[in-house]
Amino acid sequence: MELDHVGIATPDAAGQAAAVSELLDASVVHREEFDGLDVIFVELSAGYLELLEPLEDGTVQRFLDREGPGLHHLAFRTDDIEAALAHATDLGIDLIDEKPRPGAWGHQVAFLHPASTGGVLLEFVEH
């Protein structure tokens, strides 16, 4: 697997995207409203930054209320998300999503519980 993206929770996805794009000489390559979020992907040479701005109450808003803006999750690309979930289960990792579900940009996603992954929320992504 390889890094797909780093998810960043922010109260201002557009402002953060503009600042990051200018700082890193990077481009916004995708933007959508998805699951109560304004989601913006900024392309880097090795993956993306996914900027997540809550538009309604939900898990990202609760994260912002609790932790403030910053790193929300790390996402890893897989060609077989079902096999990746089975492997994680075999290793004793607790899953948030037992089955893949639709994610931003039309991808299939599944999250692993941070209690089993060193305190970091991990995501599997299948394009």
Residue spans per domain, the chain: 2-126
Q: Are 105 and 79 in contact (CB under 8 A)?
A: no
Average pLDDT over residues 24-35: 97
Phi-psi region of 99 (alpha: psi -120 to 50; beta: other; left: phi over 0): beta
Residue with the two structure tokens 């519980």: 113
List all residues 6 or more positions away from 65 whose beta carbon is below 8 Å from its beta carbon: none
pLDDT in tens, 64-101: 999 999 999 999 999 999 999 999 999 999 999 999 99
CA–CA dist 35, 17 (Å, integer): 19
What CATH architecture applies to the domain 2-126?
A: Roll (3.10)
What distance separates the 2 farthest-apart alpha carbons in the chain?
43
- What percentage of residues in the chain have a pLDDT greater than 90? 100
**pTM > 0.85:** yes
pLDDT in tens, 101-119: 999 999 999 999 999 999 9
Residue with the two structure tokens 């503009």: 18
pLDDT bracket for residue 57 (50, 70, 90) = very high
